[in-house]
Structure 1
Amino acid sequence: MRVKGLLSAALKVSLLLYPVYVWWAINHWHPATALLPIASIALLKSFTGDAGLASRGFFLLTCLGLVLAMLLGQSEHAMLYYPVWMNAGMLSLFGYSLRYPPTVVERIAKLMDGELDEKAIAYTRKVTQVWCVFFLLNGSIAFVTAVLGNWDLWLLYNGLIAYVLMGLLMFIEWQVRRVVKTAK
């Protein structure tokens, strides 16, 4: 069990460091060589993830897509568009959960707080909608940086700004949640 936990943590850290790795790798290795570790991480995530089948399937598709890109000589493009793909996947996951509850945020909240009342469920639904908007906007900007093909701009947005915005959204939601909880 301990090995699985360490592997899970290593995979999460590697996904967070992805933009910096790509920037470094594209300047030191052939794009296909740089893509191999990424495809390996996606494959590992598809088999070792603690998420549901849909999430693991998403990572398996990601791995297959990356391998296909390598075979077609499109490794550089695959690396640039990876954040777009991740945002599209998260938007799909969160959006699907809006259509077929419980929402992703509700599931997380139940893990942390146990059962939720109707007000709390309505709140988690709104938070899920906010995350959907975030993934749509973030993925759109990631798409523009990929189309432009400027590695420095790509790294600045996908490796710094996007993470800062995500952290800011989490912090704001946490603050709002505290206010909502104390208002009860």
Structure 2
Amino acid sequence: MTGLGLLLVGLAYPFAVYLGLEHLSPRLFAVLLGALWVAKLLSGKQTPLNYTMAASALLFCLLLGLAGEPALLRWYPVLISLALFGLFAGSLCTGMPIIERLARLSEPDLPPAAIRYTRQVTWVWLGYFIINAGIASGLALWAPLSWWTLYTGLIAYLLMGLLFAGEWCVRQRIRNAT
């Protein structure tokens, strides 16, 4: 249940910042967001993804809570992209890449070609996460709040959806060719 809560908060976060910045303290954002991440850590089975994301988010919440600086609110999407980048990159170096793990959920016995493909897809996601973090950083530093909100609350998710859909199409084409 907390996973769903975090997902919904993640989706709504840019809009909450946009609408609530004038009325809510950054410290309140830190407490609410931090409480969700602590609840996530205390519930259910923990994975490296959960620990990495929770540790990153809780450090952010601590910094936000201590500083109370409204401008820091814009850096949460950057942090999440960089944490995911680190997690995906780490998975390439130590054991099985994350995309391969996900693929094995539906197809446990992957052929060698599929294993190579999942490694390539992991690299593509690394590119997405670093580009997304760069764009969100630039918007956090130099753009009006409305532009930041539009990108982090809508455009980034549309781009992610396009990447999912594009990868699915490529995967189907590769499967049909073999």
Other-structure match for 1:32: 27
Q: Structure 1: state its 5+ residue gaps.
A: 1-5
**Residue 149 of structure 1, CA deviation:** 5.2
Match of 1:65 in 2: 60
Per-residue deviation, residues 98-130 of structure 1 (Å, max 9, x unmatched):
112310000000012222110000000000000
**Structure 1 counterpart of 2:167:** 173
Are the aligned partners of 1:35 and 1:70 in contact in 2 as well (CA < 8 Å)? Answer: yes
Cα deviation for residue 67 of structure 1 reads 2.2
Give aligned-pair identity as a percent.
32
Map of 2:129 onto structure 1: 135
The SS at the match of 1:17 is helix
Cα distance, 1:56 vs. partner? 1.6
- Partner of residue 23 from structure 1, selected from 18, 21, 27: 18
Q: Which residue of 1 aligns with 2:71?
A: 77
CA distance in structure 1 between the partners assigned to 2:116 and 2:136 by the alignment: 30
Moved over 4 A (4+): none
Q: Relative contact order (alpha carbons < 8 A, sep ≥ 6): 1 or 2 greater?
A: 2
Q: 1:149 and 1:40, CA in 2 relative to 1: closer, same or farther beyond 3 A?
A: farther
The aligned amino acid for 2:26 is P
Aligned partners of 1:47, 1:179: CA distance in 2, in Å?
42
Helix, strand or coil at the partner of 1:27: coil
Contact 1:8 1:48 survives alignment (8 Å)? no
**Alignment root-mean-square deviation, CA:** 1.8
> How do residues 34-183 of structure 1 correspond to structure 2 at under 5 angstroms?
34-48=29-43, 50-53=45-48, 55-74=50-69, 76-148=70-142, 150-183=144-177
SS in 1 for 2:130: helix
Is the 1:90–1:135 contact (alpha carbons within 8 Å) kept by the matching residues of 2? yes
3-state secondary structure, aligned to 2:109: coil
Change (3 A) 1:172 1:54: closer
Helix, strand or coil at the partner of 1:116: coil
